[in-house]
């Protein structure tokens, strides 16, 4: 579609790694890089989650043992981390949808910090809830 404008620079694997390199860059680039990192983490979590629920095949006892394990504090910390990742990815996603509709583009940094502040409050409440059990 760009006619003969494609004097293609060969794409290398290293280039996609640089998606995550936001050093010395602006807030938007950090948000972009974090969105990709949290996206990858969520996908890994989803795979692990599939493995976890397949423990149901091993019967009720096995499942309950696994659930007891997951209620121990180290795993609760993992849960809090998961909530943070989810909140970041979801809230930043909302920001991107808003911006894609050309709403508040000039305020994108404020929208980011506003949503992050909201996310922090939600995360603190969730953490309290999890640890109180």
Binding site for other proteins (CB under 8 A): 1-9, 11, 15-16, 18-19, 23-29, 31-33, 96, 99-102, 105-106, 108
For the CB of residue 60, give the shortest distance to other proteins in the complex, in Å.
45
Nearer of residues 69 and 94 to other proteins, judged by Cβ = 94
Q: Using only C-alpha atoms, what is the Rg of the chain?
A: 20
Nearest to 83 by CA among 30, 47, 131: 131
Cβ nearer to other proteins, comparing 26 with 129: 26
Nearer to other proteins by Cβ, of 3 and 133: the residue is 3
For residue 84, the minimal CB distance to other proteins (Å) is 21
- CB contact set of 47 (below 8 Å; sequence gap of 6+): none
Of 30 and 131, which CB lies nearer to other proteins in the complex structure? 30
Burial of 24-41, coded b for 16+ CB within 10 Å and e otherwise, reads: eeeeeeebbbbbebbeeb
Cα 118 to chain centroid, rounded: 16
- Measured CA to CA in angstroms, residue 102 lies from 20, 72, 92, 96 at distances of 25, 45, 15, 10
From the CB of 116, what's the least distance to other proteins, in Å? 16
Q: How far is the CB of 112 from other proteins (least distance, A)?
A: 10
């Amino acid at each position: 579609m760009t006619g003969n404008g494609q004097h293609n620079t060969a794409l290398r694997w290293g280039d996609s790694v640089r998606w995550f390199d936001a050093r010395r860059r602006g807030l938007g680039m950090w948000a972009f890089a974090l969105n990709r990192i949290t996206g990858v983490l969520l996908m890994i979590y989803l795979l692990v989650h599939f493995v976890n629920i397949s423990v149901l095949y091993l019967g009720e006892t096995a499942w309950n043992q696994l659930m007891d394990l997951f209620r121990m504090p180290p795993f609760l910390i993992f849960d809090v981390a998961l909530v943070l990742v989810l909140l970041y990815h979801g809230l930043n996603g909302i920001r991107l949808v808003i911006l894609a509709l050309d709403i508040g583009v000039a305020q994108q940094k404020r929208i980011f910090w506003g949503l992050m502040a909201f996310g922090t409050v939600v995360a603190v409440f969730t953490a309290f809830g999890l640890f109180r059990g």
